[in-house]
Structure 1
């Protein structure tokens, strides 16, 4: 689980996962980067922050990435072809300054890349759904641009002008 590095807590997600793990509703291993959250987890290991190499290693090992609604973590997990459950931080819970993460998560969900959880009580349902569901393969715009550029260069080098 990844909660980002901004100076906001995401205690309600940590508490929900902790309770699901304690109740045996989640039996898989959970490791969480909790950032500035203050909730004390009792059922799985956590760390505040992590170096990029170690972060990438954890993502590589994960079957499912549960995260906040930041584009960085969502895109990183999708590029590694991981199933993603994203829960947007909400202003009403003092988790962010506004609700832009709701918009971000909704866009990725509507495009078929991730599972969205708007209400924390829906998390266990989302975990069950993501295990059974197939998602679209993600290609970043940079990858698309580079591939198109490469194809254009090959065409030009073969004398096939545009």
Structure 2
């Protein structure tokens, strides 16, 4: 199953949601899809969705899926890779009214350069990206939070 999550910021990501809908309608994408659509106003016709998920719903769907397609938000990406999901990330772009600037391009590039995710710049290639991640081995995400906390504690204690 593919889980699409577009975050909870007050920006739409209609471009992604409508492209997935079109591909399912054309039978180019046959895998089950569920989307958390956030503030988008596009209404999917060919897959199940919910505007917002509570923590338990999000966890349940994340556990069911093997692939995640998401925007370039760090929280969404880290949440998926921490659980070993294959991730395709598409940055929200200012020119489409999806965000205030293009900072998600940098975020997606960083995660891609670390070989944690598949970045996608052009939605036309989404079916190819889905096929690509099915057989691709990505690095396992390792948090450095404890290392940072230890460094701060060491600094404070000295």
Residue 39 of structure 2 corresponds to residue 36 of structure 1: yes
Q: How does 1:39-54 map to 2 (within 5 A)?
A: 39-54=42-57
Residue 55 of structure 2 corresponds to residue 57 of structure 1: no
**Which residue does 1:22 correspond to in 2?**
25
Moved over 4 A (4+): none
- TM-superposed CA distance for 1:134, in Å, is 0.6
**Which residue does 1:7 correspond to in 2?**
10
**Which residue does 2:137 correspond to in 1?**
134
Task: Name the CA distance, whole Å, in 1 between partners of 2:85 and 2:117.
Answer: 9
Taking only aligned residues, the RMSD between alpha carbons, in angstroms, comes to 1.4
- TM-score normalised by L of structure 1: 0.87
Structure 1 residue ranges without an equivalent (≥5): 150-162
**Which residue does 2:122 correspond to in 1?**
119
Task: Name the CA distance, whole Å, in 1 between partners of 2:142 and 2:65.
Answer: 20
Q: Which has the larger radius of gyration?
A: 1
Task: Name the CA distance, whole Å, in 1 between partners of 2:72 and 2:126.
Answer: 14
- TM-superposed CA distance for 1:142, in Å, is 1.6
More strand by share: 2
Structure 2 residue ranges without an equivalent (≥5): 151-158
Task: Name the CA distance, whole Å, in 2 between partners of 1:82 and 1:142.
Answer: 20
Deviations 1:7-56 (A, max 9, x none): 11100100110011111111111000000101111000111101111101
